[in-house]
Structure 1
Amino acid sequence: MAADMVERNESGQDAHRISLLEVIEDRNRAMNKKYLVHRLVYISKIRGTNVDRTAVGNHYEQLTKKLAADYPGSEPITGLMLIYLKHIVHIVETSSDLILRLIQDLRAMELDEESYVSKSKILVVSHDINTRLYQQWQFRTLDIVEHGIEAYDTNESFENLIIEVLTQLLKLGVFLFKQPKLNLKNAMDSLHDKVPEHLPQQSVVHYLLEENDSSMVTPQEYIEIYEKPFDTSLESDMVWPIPTRLFPYN
């Protein structure tokens, strides 16, 4: 009887309970993920009227390669940059440290009068996405002429407009994800002809950029989250004498 109890105790001590961290790590190993992958979506206004839009795309292409070289163990950068006549819509999938570097580059360009971008707004940062919609990073210039961009007005809330833009981009990603590799380039070159409903309207992008709303943050505001010290004073810290905590749950 005693021997049976010893065996039960030993088996109970040896029994391993799987934690949530282990489940996440196993899932990441199965998906060949080194770190958590996050999705960044932001919009920008191109500085000036005579900017070479291909040069804008090349700048970001070189930036993604440089970040990949600077952070060899991090998650690769994938996504799609849509370069309109006056605006940029960029969706990026990568690790959190590279997202911060991309946003820091945005802030640097806003301060540089000779850069390609004059202002930007971050629409969303989605954490720990399950699946990448974009298998590589690419850009496309869109020669879509849309009249009355500056005069656009709507009764829709900013939240609804942002959701509309994000929904379009996610549907665009699903469309490209389902394309055969041999047909992907043709699909990318004819987005306006095949899936115009998945492309955000330039008037909506302009409206979101020009208006100030708490639903969106600027690159500077996002960076301040990481740079500002986190100092919090609790009410108990302002009491003297300091209350004695006899139990950890008091």
Structure 2
Amino acid sequence: MAQPRNHQRHNRVASVASGGGGAVDHHAYPTQTLFEYIKEKQLPFLSNIVIIGRLRDTWDKQPELGDYYQKFINSLPITIEKPFDNHQHNTPEDNNVQPATGLLLIFPTLFIHYLEVTNSAMKSIFEDLNQSINNHNGLIREASILNISYNIQTRLYPNWSFKSIKLAVEDLDAQPAETTEAIAIEILGKLLRLAKYQAEERQRNERPGDVLANLDQQRADLLPNQVNINYLLKQPIFRTAEDILKNYNRPINVRFESDLTAPPTHRLFPITF
């Protein structure tokens, strides 16, 4: 009786491995995940994340979401990163890195979260976000990752804070005239201008206090449009926290079917110069 194809391949590999000559056991191919690699190397990367989402309930959940993230961000451990290629990169001289800085804007039904995070903090934030969405008692109904910028050069925010915005909108489901790309770029641009505005206010005033206290009345032009946030949430092109976590848990060393044959095939990649 003919043997199954997979069984024949296994016998061919086993016979070569047992015949000496330094044959490699392809079944022992490493399956280290991306997060395990980052954690092992302690790569000192600082990333920027922009999250847009919808609250599970309206109005009364605004301060609750802000207080929750205030405690969560403060609970993240301060990491100590190793130098990268013998040079400090995105880290102070003492290597101590704040786990997360940024700004959370909470509208009546929506929110947008601008974060500058370290490697370990990024995974913790995505895990917590995914858990809140999957939990019917969580504060967040849905969320999308609007943008991720890896290995940024500097932070825009010295700390993390949040602001509840009371601006109402007449028709949240209105169809914007711009394209999805143009809307996303406009929102990201406003977040950058908002960070610049806060930095300028802190430098201008000796005792700046809460520079966001009257932001929705004095500088509403700096705030992202709620209609645009709602529109982007409906677009399937943006990834979710669950999608990002799958990348962390996916092996970085992929084993092809051809790796199980003997003699092993030669790959055309990675290409080295």
TM-score, scaled relative to structure 2? 0.69
Instruction: Trace 1:1-250 onto structure 2 (pairs within 5 A).
Output: 35-49=44-58, 51-68=60-77, 71=79, 74-150=97-173, 152-180=174-202, 182-213=206-237, 216-232=238-254, 237=259, 241-242=263-264
Q: Take 1:244 and 1:135, find their aligned partners in 2: how far apart are those partners?
A: 50
Unmatched runs of 5 consecutive residues or more in structure 2? 1-42, 81-95
Q: Take 1:243 and 1:147, find their aligned partners in 2: how far apart are those partners?
A: 63
Please state how far the C-alpha of 1:130 moved relative to its aligned partner: 2.1
Whichever residue aligns with residue 58 of structure 2, its letter is T
Whichever residue aligns with residue 91 of structure 1, its letter is Y
| 1:122–1:244 distance in 2 versus 1, CA, 3 Å | closer
- Secondary structure (helix, strand or coil) at the match of 2:76 reads helix
Q: Take 1:171 and 1:44, find their aligned partners in 2: how far apart are those partners?
A: 21
Q: Take 2:252 and 2:57, find their aligned partners in 1: how far apart are those partners?
A: 38
Q: Take 1:175 and 1:66, find their aligned partners in 2: how far apart are those partners?
A: 28
State whether residues 259 and 265 of structure 2, in contact with CA within 8 Å, keep that contact through their aligned partners in structure 1.
Answer: no
Unmatched runs of 5 consecutive residues or more in structure 1? 1-33
| 1:184–1:44 distance in 2 versus 1, CA, 3 Å | farther
Please state how far the C-alpha of 1:54 moved relative to its aligned partner: 0.8
| 1:210–1:185 distance in 2 versus 1, CA, 3 Å | farther
Whichever residue aligns with residue 201 of structure 1, its letter is N
State whether residues 68 and 76 of structure 1, in contact with CA within 8 Å, keep that contact through their aligned partners in structure 2.
Answer: yes
| 1:244–1:115 distance in 2 versus 1, CA, 3 Å | closer
Of all paired residues, the percent bearing the same amino acid is: 24
State whether residues 37 and 75 of structure 1, in contact with CA within 8 Å, keep that contact through their aligned partners in structure 2.
Answer: no
- Secondary structure (helix, strand or coil) at the match of 2:244 reads helix
Taking CA–CA contacts closer than 8 Å with sequence separation of 6 or more, which of the two structures ends up with the larger relative contact order? 2
| 1:56–1:242 distance in 2 versus 1, CA, 3 Å | closer
Whichever residue aligns with residue 157 of structure 1, its letter is T
Instruction: Count residues in correspondence.
Output: 211
Larger helix proportion of the pair:
1
State whether residues 59 and 109 of structure 2, in contact with CA within 8 Å, keep that contact through their aligned partners in structure 1.
Answer: no
Q: Take 1:100 and 1:184, find their aligned partners in 2: how far apart are those partners?
A: 33
Whichever residue aligns with residue 132 of structure 1, its letter is R
**1:9 corresponds to:** none
- Secondary structure (helix, strand or coil) at the match of 1:89 reads strand
TM-score, scaled relative to structure 1? 0.75
